[in-house]
Amino acid sequence: MEEELLALKENDIWDIVSCPSNVRPIGCKWVYSVKLHSDGTLDRYKARLVVLGNRQEYGVDYEETFAPVAKMTTVRTIIAIAASQNWSLYQMDSKYDSSLFLRKTSTGCVLLLVYVNDIIITGTDSSLITCLQQQLKDSLYLGTLTYFLGLEVHNVASGVFLNQHKYTQDLISLAGLQVSSSVDTPLEINVKYRREEGDLLPDPTIFRQLVGSLNYLTITRLDISFAVQQVSQFMQAPRHLHLVAVRRIIRYLLGTSTLGLFFPSGSLIHLNAFSDSDWAGCPDTRRSVSGWCMFLGESLISWKSKKQDRVSKSST
């Protein structure tokens, strides 16, 4: 460990200083990961020294938290704008953490979005983009945006197509459903799942893993948002029937793994929003489920399916 830190110091990545007397050291560890291309082939090996934040105590080590990370709605919005204006999309991998920058110049503008240390660059000023790439020479320039946080980006003549095909295939493998038959809908029609129906799962681990993975898949799959919201209610004490529902969602993905979002070029940049809700749809709480979606021109950028906080006494 000491040799690794000394090597980092020699490379001027950071300076090692003494801990102030009024600061309690927390500790750290190395995290190693394997980065893959969208086709599953090896991209590179990666190592990062991270702080053990789980050893911090609220009120002693900190009082508030802040993570400068762009939301996925922002990522989709940037891609939608770039597609509508026919801007080129580039990606970089940086050691710097930030969120979103916009710089205007006499010849145009440049947008730079950072998700932890993965960067998307787009805009109209190609000379400034080149300058940014040179200034961030310590970063790894990866070229045209094709694969970002598990999202596959396909540039076509009519716009940009976004999906999670490889991620979906990995999820199907995790569930062990590679040779199963596909179904036409993510949930059975007119079926209501209750909290205490059926036998408890002896080990809820796989249920929680699958539902967590499905939640990440909703980044590009609006069509499963309601189904995932339904099964997410049972994370604390899942039952066999709930696992059957999760496996059905994944069987639906078997036949639709290439679906995703399309952001057309030439689309006007104006917002449209739509919303709806059922009436006392939850059989356990009698609360309703609301759903909404937002379009930037013809591009779908944000949506949600969520159980309401209170029981409605009127259908108005």
pLDDT in tens, 198-247: 899 999 999 999 999 999 999 999 999 999 999 999 999 999 999 999 99
Closest CA to 273 of 259, 288, 290: 290
Q: Report which DSSP code applies to 52.
A: -
Asked if residue 113 has pLDDT above 90, the reply is no
- What is each CA distance from 117 to 40, 114, 138, 146, 314, in whole angstroms? 21, 6, 12, 16, 48
Strand partners, 36: 42
Residues 304, 276 contacting (CB under 8 angstroms) = no
Which helix or strand (DSSP H or E) is residue 10 part of? helix 2-10
54-85 pLDDT per residue, tens: 788 888 777 777 666 678 999 999 999 999 99
Q: Please report, as a single letter, which amino acid is at residue 43.
A: D
Q: Which is more confident, 139 or 280?
A: 280
Burial label for 41, CB within 10 Å (0-12, 13-18, 19+), is exposed
Q: Output the pLDDT for position 97.
A: 60
Q: Output the pLDDT for position 109.
A: 81
- Which contacts qualify for 70-76: CB closer than 8 Å, 24 or more apart? 70/99, 70/100, 70/113, 70/114, 70/115, 72/219, 73/301, 73/302, 74/100, 74/113, 75/113, 75/115, 75/120, 75/148, 75/149, 75/151, 76/162, 76/261, 76/263, 76/299, 76/300, 76/301, 76/302
DSSP-assigned states of every residue in 258-286: T-EEEEETT----EEEEEEE-SS--TTT-
Question: Residue with structure tokens 């991620």?
Answer: 167
Q: Output the pLDDT for position 223.
A: 95
Q: Output the pLDDT for position 53.
A: 79
Q: Output the pLDDT for position 1.
A: 41
Q: Please report, as a single letter, which amino acid is at residue 202.
A: P
Cα separation, 108 vs 95, in Å, equals: 27
Q: Output the pLDDT for position 188.
A: 92
179 — pLDDT class (breaks 50, 70, 90): very high
Asked if residue 8 has pLDDT above 50, the reply is no
What proportion of the chain, given as a percentage, has pLDDT over 70?
87
- Computed on alpha carbons and rounded to an integer, the radius of gyration of the chain in Å comes to 23
Task: Report the 3 state secondary structure along 118-174.
Answer: EEEEEECCHHHHHHHHHHCCCCEEEEECCEECCEEEEEECCEEEEECHHHHHHHHHH
Cα separation, 230 vs 246, in Å, equals: 10
Helical axes 225-232 vs 205-217, angle rounded to 10°: 150
Asked if residue 252 has pLDDT above 70, the reply is yes
